[in-house]
Structure 1
């Protein structure tokens, strides 16, 4: 069932609800919308009320804000939590993982937090994008150069080689990525990948945290996940054998891990 939930600033969010049981909200990362977490939701729906939504500026959700602010997305998550009864557990993937942790750090009524490969930087020995990548990305979006914004994000934020990006441009999935370009500044702003993750704030998370990564993922994502598990006061770390950042395409094993933690 798809409904519209209105955030604090009037932004309309498309929200899907399925299943029955305790509510759990699934939040995707960059280039994701509610469709990309739907398969994971279907795996969980037999035991939970599963809620997915399009983050602002993507899918069927709009954006009434004058500027990009992390607080806007925290307000959106708060609105979805209110929609499901005032409390919920949350799961986030990549920048969505950072967003749900941000919600917990800001005191939203969250019971449990599960994250898969949060897109923080935790290893200062690994390359990081320059701090001006956010301003350049936002300028490309403002100019309507969505292809350029996707290329910049993939190349400088994710670290995809130029030749691989060229191959992606020729593929069928490129249009899906370009459609999400206007929301990419939010993904960068919430993760701030040019600086190290905020350990002092993560240490203040007062709810149980499950941090998961795949043993075939990028070293930086593995390091970020371990750092969250080491820093949050009540945290558990799980490493999935044979998995990488694309786990949402193969959700069954992850759903089992989440169900155990959330149940």
Structure 2
């Protein structure tokens, strides 16, 4: 779109908010409001999946004056209270995406948690025990949910760029540095297919704390691992990454 202005996206993942973190992120969120147009939080919002931890994050987010989007991570499911976490965070300036999409400043955002399964020729297959089939089916379901949310953006807003936020990675590139034995639990190439086919402009994820900051899925499709430990390892000046789309 000729008249579209670039959007500044701030992204971070794996905050792992604890009960003792009250006041820890307030200044950061205030600063972000001056530096970016939107904030993405890529899963593991809480440390133990407790709604009280989500309440702390909700309070901190009141200091933010730009739209904020996020997805849940595996830690947010630990106690089976993910619905309570979602309800708690709706009290703040925050929208959790789980197959939904939203448009902000002429940019479409789609988000799902994603799941594991491995990458490329080492992907797990839907073969064998029921437990293995269920594991792979979860990856398939998340990929299909991502594809549907991107398709809606494509149909309703065909001329705007699309951005995806996940918790699990769609590529092995951004999990390099983690033990190879756990790659199947860090993401899945099944997530990559809709991202490439729907011509997404950028992807943000977390989860792989020892991974790499940046990878790619296609020539013009960058993937950013914005897990907080990764940002700090790469000596980012702030506890977030800003990318202009």
Quickly name the TM-score band, shorter chain normalised: 0.3 to 0.5
Task: Report the TM-score when normalising by structure 1.
Answer: 0.37
More helix, by proportion: 1
Task: Report the TM-score when normalising by structure 2.
Answer: 0.39
